[in-house]
Amino acid sequence: MRVQLSAPLQALPHGRATYLVVFLPEDVSDLINDLQVPRVGFQGVKVEATIGATTWKTTVFPDKESFLLLVARKVATAEALTVGEPVDVTLTVL
């Protein structure tokens, strides 16, 4: 399954670290949740994510109402992403 979405990049503080994340829209989260694919740690689903010219393999993790995609700082820098601004993401479930 491949989906395209746009959602704001958010910064979530966690102890001494701050994580950059994109919360997937509810409809995309519902599609992923309904898939019969193997789950990994913390009930995550393996995906290939693309933002701009950067593609990487990662895991999306379920949150209260949606899934979240962690975005590495090197991806944010390479793609000139700004916290609070929408990010266009293509996800392919592996």
- In this prediction, residue 65 carries a pLDDT of 87
Q: What separation, in Å, do the N-terminal and C-terminal C-alpha atoms of the chain show?
A: 8
- pTM for this model (two decimals): 0.92
Q: What does the pLDDT profile of the chain (94 residues) look like in tens digits? A: 999 999 999 998 888 888 999 999 999 999 999 999 999 999 999 999 999 999 999 999 999 889 999 999 999 999 999 999 999 999 999 9
| 6/23 Cα distance (integer angstroms) | 10
Phi/psi of residue 5, nearest 5 degrees: -150, 165
